[in-house]
Amino acid sequence: MLLAAIKFKSMIMRVLSRVCALIALMTISLVGTAQRQLTMEEAVLAKGGQLYPMRYANFQWRPLSGDYTYVQGDTLVLRNVASQKDLKRIPLRHLNALLPSNASKLSSWYPVTWHTGQELTFWTGTLKYSVDADFTKVAQLWQLPKEADNIHEAPACDAVVYNIGQSLELQDAAGKRTRVITDTLDGIQNGRAVHRNEFGIEDGIFWSPKGEAFAFYHMDERMVTPYPLVDISDRPAKLAAIRYPMAGQESHQVTVGVVHVDNPSKIVWLQTGLPKEKYLTNLAWSPDAKLLYIAEVNRGQDTMNLVEYDALSGARRRVLFQETDTHYVEPVVPMRFLPNRPGEFIWMSQRSGHNHAYLYNVNGQLIAPVTSGNWDVLEVLGYDKQRSTLYIYSNENAVLDRQLVAVNVVDKSRKRLTPKDGYTTVWLDTQAGRFAARWSSVHDAGGFYISSLRGGPITNERKHANPLEGYAMPQVRLVSLKAADGTTDLYGRLITPPNMDSTQKHKVVVYVYGGPHAQLVTNTWLAGGNLWECLMAQQGYVVFVLDNRGSANRGFAFEQPIHRRLGQLELQDQLKGVEYLKSLPYVDSERMAVHGWSFGGFMTINMLLKSVNAFKVGVAGGPVIDWQYYEIMYGERYMDRPQENPDGYAWADLRRSVRNLEGKRLLLLHGYQDNTVVPQHSLSFMKAVVDAGRYEVDAFFYPGHAHNVRGLDRVQLMAKVTDYINRWL
Q: Which of 598, 640, 653, 705 is catalytic?
A: 598
Residue 81: helix, strand or coil by DSSP? coil
Q: Give yes or no for a contact between 204 and 194, defined as CB atoms under 8 angstroms apart.
A: yes
Can you spell out the DSSP letters for 342-375? TTEEEEEE-TTSS-EEEEEETTS-EEEES--SSS
Helical packing angle, 531-538 and 712-728, nearest 10°: 40
3-state DSSP assignment of residue 284: strand
Q: Are 560 and 527 in contact (CB under 8 A)?
A: no
Residues 6+ apart with CB under 8 A from 678: 227, 229, 244, 629
Phi, psi of 320 (to 5 degrees): -70, -45
Angle at 47 between CA 41 and CA 53, to 5 degrees: 125
Q: Decide if 593 contacts 509 (C-beta within 8 A).
A: yes
Cβ(320)–Cβ(335) below 8 Å: no
What spatial distance separates the first Cα and last Cα of the chain, rounded to whole Å?
65
The secondary structure of 462-514, three-state, reads EECCCCCCCECCCEEEEEEEECCCCCCEEEEEEEECCCCCCCCCEEEEEEECC
Closest CA to 408 of 365, 463, 453, 459: 453
Q: Distance (Å, rounded) from C-alpha 655 to C-alpha 661? A: 11
Dihedral angle of Cα 95, 97, 98, 99, to the nearest 10 degrees: 100
Separation CA 441–CA 438 (nearest Å) = 11
- DSSP letters, 521-554, are --SSGGGG--HHHHHHHHTT-EEEEEE-TT-SSS
598 is catalytic: yes
- Of 674, 681, 682, 705, the catalytic one is 674
DSSP state of 229: -
Crossing angle of helices 531-538 and 40-49, in 10° steps, is: 150
Neighbouring CB atoms inside 10 A of 318's CB total 11
Backbone φ and ψ for 185, nearest 5 degrees, come out as -75, 135
Hey, is 268 helix, strand or coil?
A: strand
Q: How far apart are CA 722 and CA 40, in angstroms?
A: 9
- How far CA 312 is from CA of 263, 289, 525, 599, in Å, comes to 11, 9, 51, 43
The strand ranges marked E within 570-674 are 587-597, 617-621, 665-671
Q: Contact at 8 Å (CB) between 263 and 251?
A: no
Catalytic (active site) residue 674: yes
Looking at the annotation, which residues are catalytic?
Answer: 598, 674, 707
